[in-house]
Amino acid sequence: MKNGKETESLVLLDCPVEGVARITLNRPDARNALNNALRQALKKTFTLLQEDDSVRTVVLRGSQNCFAAGADLKEVSQMGPLAVSQLSVLEFWKTIAGFHKPVIAAVAGPALGGGCELAQHADIIIAGRSARFGQPEVNVGIMPGGGATQRLVRALGYWRAMHLILTGESIGAEEAAAIGLASEVVDDDQLDAYAIDRARQIASRPPIAIRRIKEVTLAGADAALATGLQLERRAFEQLFDTADQKEGMRAFIERREPRFIGR
């Protein structure tokens, strides 16, 4: 992927370091509210990166002061059920949920409603100290529609998730990290560099193993424990048929840095 590539004006795409793609939401005047055009641009971008073997990890960020403030209410406020269903929002979320490479969300400022759900689709959430997370849909007469009623309960437990969803209140970065809604918290001026460094670290790992880790973890979350353990063991065994496994163990024995090639 060429550095500085721009797929859509609403989504900026670049490659700050080898193996890492960075997606930037670019609707600053609307606080990166998720309208249909932005969702389609994101879907197109994730589909492109899915097929790009040079990309091993993705960083997803908003603008400097706002990750994403939710759905664009001006677009949907007067719609009926049929019109809302024709927005194909579920297909948008499926594209991101099915993305097989690691995604790091770098969150500064509000991540509310659909913006909070977008962050929840990442594998790691790094929060700047200005970050705020919440599901305020109930405040405008609706409920989450991008997965929060399911993902938050799995991530936080029933009572913490329901507190956020039923009250519509938002929480800051430190509280989000304490309850498990953020992986770690850093100063805002360090957020971009820190997220890229984390992404670079993951991109340096064997990509087949990284993909299997994500696949098994997500599949096992919706399965019985015995099924998840079986999935894990089979994936573990299959990795012994990869060149990266041979290289990684040989490098460990020889006390040198491994050179993973993705085979």
Mind listing the pLDDT tens digit for each residue in 21-34? 999 999 999 999 99
What are the tokens at 104? 């790091």
71 is catalytic: yes
Residue 8's pLDDT band (boundaries 50, 70, 90)?
A: low
Q: 132-169 pLDDT, tens per residue?
A: 999 999 999 999 999 999 999 999 999 999 999 999 99
Q: Is domain 11-203 annotated with CATH 3.90.226.10? A: yes
Terminal Cα distance for the chain, rounded: 20
Give the domain ranges of the chain: 11-203, 207-254
Cβ proximity of 134 and 109 under 8 Å: no
154-159's contacts with Cβ under 8 Å and 24+ in sequence apart are 154/221, 155/120, 155/180, 155/181, 156/180, 156/181
Q: Which residues of 231-241 are buried (b: 16+ CB within 10 A; e: fewer)?
A: bbeebeeeeee
User: What global pTM score does this model have?
Assistant: 0.93
For the question of residue 145 being annotated catalytic, the response is no
For the question of residue 113 being annotated catalytic, the response is no
Catalytic residue among 117, 134, 177, 199: 117
Reply yes or no on whether 175 is catalytic. Answer: no
- The CATH architecture that domain 207-254 belongs to is Orthogonal Bundle (1.10)
- Local confidence band at 2 (pLDDT 50, 70, 90 cut-offs): low
Which of 68, 71, 131, 195 does the annotation list as catalytic? 71
Cβ pair 109, 131 in contact under 8 A:
yes
Helices (H) and strands (E) in the chain, counts: 12, 9
